[in-house]
Amino acid sequence: MPELPEVELVARALDKLVGGSRILAAELLRPRLAPESSPAGFAEALRGAGIEGVTRRGKHILFQLDGQRVLIVHLRMTGRFLLLPEERELPKHTHAVFYLEDQRRMAFDDQRHFGLMKLAAASELQQTKELRALAPEPFSEAFTPDYLGGVLSRSRRTLKETLLDQTKVTGLGNIYAAEVLFLARANPFSVSAEFSRRRVQRLHRAILDVLTEAIAHGSTMNVDPENIDGSFYDGSNQGRWRVYDREGEACLNCRASIRRLSHAGRSTYFCPRCQRR
């Protein structure tokens, strides 16, 4: 599942590729992709809409449309956009198509069918159920060590669970949460409220460092307009993780063997020596 850096890079790629374009017509092929619109309503609302730009909030992609409207998109597991010339066939799991004015088509393809789209008025965007509960953006001024310390002090859940909760910290998923905890040398299973206040600064720093590094690395890569998927960055990052997916390998700090514990179908990777508490 794409996490904040991948969604950021997808949004930037879309902004570059379709920002300033106009949607001549839109087709919703799988109605449940946009459960709050009918296919006819979706088509009607998007006909003639100008795309002013593409941004991101949390793991949501935001198409800023003229007329003070926003198309919110969540890629979830396998959602991806493809910009296709007229002659190219649509992929098998195309759930929506946007016909742009320069003969290009922007398709939304989603093999696993978990993606979501929703139209909202720009003035109500922050109040939508998708966005209203999200924690502050990690790179915003509101996301301070004090904020993070406050969040942790009020939670009896594990550090990892708190980092994954988008209403507490936004943008981290299973991979980057593991990387952050490793960099901060914090045990994923520690109770959040028992994490010492003097270590919060380091955890906060690790969140920003891991996200910054991932975005910087991803921005050096070429984006294929015909396959703008959220994993284009993951895929090439194999071998760059510090701890994720390294079960049995030597810890980069201390050479101890990296462990993996599985809970609720998700793996947690950590160094049993560096991340003792």
Tell me the one-letter amino acid at 28.
Answer: L
Q: Is 118 a catalytic residue?
A: no
**Minimal distance in Å, beta carbon 45 to Zn ion?**
53
> Which residue number is nearest to Zn ion in terms of Cβ?
251
**Among 156, 266, 276, 277, the one annotated catalytic:** 266
Residue 254 lies near Zn ion (rule: CB under 5 A)? yes
Helix or strand (DSSP H, E) at 217: helix 200-219
Identify which of residues 7 and 203 has a Cβ nearer to Zn ion in the complex: 203
User: Is residue 59 annotated as part of the catalytic site, yes or no?
Assistant: yes
Question: Facing residues of 262 across strands?
Answer: 267
DSSP 42-107: HHHHHTT-BEEEEEEETTEEEEEETTTEEEEEE-TTTEEEEEE-TTSPPPTTEEEEEEETTS-EEE
Q: Does 271 bind Zn ion (CB under 5 A)?
A: yes
Contact (Cβ atoms closer than 8 angstroms) between residue 107 and residue 49: no
**Among candidates 59, 54, 227, 221, which has minimal Cα distance to 130?**
59
The single residue among 4, 107, 251, 270 that binds Zn ion, judged by CB under 5 A, is: 251
Question: Binding of Zn ion at residue 253 (CB under 5 A)?
Answer: yes
Binders of Zn ion among residues 40 to 79 (CB under 5 A) are none
Contact flag: residue 243 with Zn ion (CB under 5 A): no
Catalytic residue among 56, 59, 69, 118: 59
Catalytic: 124? no
Closer CB to Zn ion, residue 63 or residue 269?
A: 269
Based on the shown chain and the rule CB under 5 A, indicate whether residue 28 belongs to the binding site for Zn ion.
Answer: no
Decide: 62 and 11 in contact? Cβ < 8 Å.
yes
269 forms beta bridges with: 260
Q: Find the shortest distance in angstroms from Cβ 277 to Zn ion.
A: 13
Helices and strands (H, E) in the chain, number of each type: 7, 11
Name which position in 256, 261, 263, 276 contacts Zn ion (CB under 5 A).
Answer: 256
For residue 274, state whether it binds Zn ion (rule: CB under 5 A).
yes
Q: Any catalytic annotation for residue 136?
A: no
Closest CA to 273 of 258, 265, 262: 258
Q: Which of 3, 6, 130, 179 is catalytic?
A: 3
Residues forming the site for Zn ion (CB under 5 A): 251, 253-254, 256, 271, 273-274
Question: Would you please indicate which residues are annotated as catalytic (active-site) residues?
Answer: 2-3, 59, 266
